[in-house]
Structure 1
Amino acid sequence: MTNQDLSKLSSFHTKNLRKIARIFWPQRISNEELEHCQQESIEKILVERRWKWIGHVLRKSQNAIPRVAVQWKPEGRRKRGRPKTTWRRTAEAEVATMGQSWGTLRTLAQDRKKWKDFVAALVAHGKKGSE
């Protein structure tokens, strides 16, 4: 997910929070005051759901379709220019910034309790620009 996509989602999220709180045009309220609704930021929600799904996929058998799809690398030459920001590249970049390998994450994901604690710590720490 690109920063532009994240910005669009964040603005959509705050716009809908304002609708729920019934704050319309003549009224003004800052984003800091809007945080009193105690809603998590959309970035944190996305990071948490991404890593929960990664754990789900890593617990599957080696031949399961979702796991094969995540590990699949296309062969041949790619097009010119910058590679597109894909879900896989985003996840690999996060793994690299954490200093982890897919092997250690695979063993960690087998224990659901440890994986849940890992995801909670990851979200609380604020990876990928989350506060």
Structure 2
Amino acid sequence: MKDSEDAQLRDQQAGFHFADDLALLCQTQQQMQEKTNSVAAASAAIGLNIHKGKSKILRYNTACDNSITLHGEDLEDVKALTYLSSIIDEHGGSDADVKAWIGKARAAYLQLRNIWNSKLLSVNKPIPSSEF
């Protein structure tokens, strides 16, 4: 009975073989290690594997630097990372993220500068409107 339930669960989760974004938030190193072990065990139970090379540890406001391990291997500690298109750093602020967005906006503007400065465009021309 248990084997058939496991097989059924794996079949239901078939679309999740490549789930890739998860953030674990903890107050202590011990809690982080326990959550990491728990997620690894739950993932393995349904046939998912955690890619150790893509797993990162970002510490905020802590002096503790004990390693977090996954299957006996240390996970990489980083100073900043991108999560759901936002840059998160060890200082907890949004400065790096804001600078990145300003940089992207500047690059987009510079790509369109020739269009904005074109003599073929006029700010006095009415924009055609569509009535629904």
- Normalising by the residue count of structure 2, what TM-score does the alignment of the two structures yield? 0.25
More helix by share: 1
Greater relative contact order structure (CA < 8 Å, 6+ sep): 1
Flag the structure with larger Rg: 2
- Normalising by the residue count of structure 1, what TM-score does the alignment of the two structures yield? 0.25
More strand by share: 2
